[in-house]
């Protein structure tokens, strides 16, 4: 009986050491998993910030584009207005010239 007990205690010690070794390995793995999870969470936060920034930039670009279109439209309208004024001035100059010629005749 004593021999069986001694053998069982020796087996128990061996298993206890194996258990402690496996427990330490599991603890190390858990630490790595937790560290990796924290890195993943940080990357997800960064990705979300980048996506939000992209959305803000898209809206700013859209506003700038609309403003540019309005400015181009205003420039086009001003050019049309200037052409009308130039045509009116040319017409008035021709009228002045015609009137001066009539004055000279009289």
Domain that holds residue 36: 1-81
Establish if 3 belongs to a structural domain. yes
CA 96, 100, 101, 103 torsion: positive or negative? positive
Residues 1-21 pLDDT 10s: 999 999 999 999 999 999 999
Total of domains in the chain: 1
The Cα–Cα gap between 2 and 24 comes to 33
- What pLDDT shows up at residue 41? 98
Establish if 25 belongs to a structural domain. yes
The Cα–Cα gap between 106 and 101 comes to 9
The Cα–Cα gap between 7 and 28 comes to 32
Establish if 63 belongs to a structural domain. yes
The Cα–Cα gap between 77 and 70 comes to 10
Residues 39-70 pLDDT 10s: 999 999 999 999 999 999 999 999 999 999 99
- What pLDDT shows up at residue 87? 97
- What pLDDT shows up at residue 73? 96
Residues 66-103 pLDDT 10s: 999 999 999 999 999 999 999 999 999 999 999 999 99
Residues 25-38 pLDDT 10s: 999 999 999 999 99
Establish if 97 belongs to a structural domain. no
Establish if 87 belongs to a structural domain. no
The Cα–Cα gap between 8 and 2 comes to 10
């Amino acid at each position: 009986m004593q021999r069986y007990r001694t053998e069982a205690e020796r087996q128990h010690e061996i298993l206890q050491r194996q258990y402690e070794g496996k427990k330490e390995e599991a603890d190390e793995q858990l630490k790595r998993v937790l560290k990796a999870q924290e890195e993943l969470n940080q990357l997800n936060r960064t990705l979300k910030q980048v996506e939000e920034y992209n959305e803000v930039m898209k809206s700013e670009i859209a506003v700038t584009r609309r403003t540019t279109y309005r400015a181009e439209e205003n420039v086009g309208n001003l050019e049309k207005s200037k052409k009308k004024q130039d045509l009116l001035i040319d017409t008035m100059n021709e009228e002045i010239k015609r009137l001066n010629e009539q004055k000279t005749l009289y």
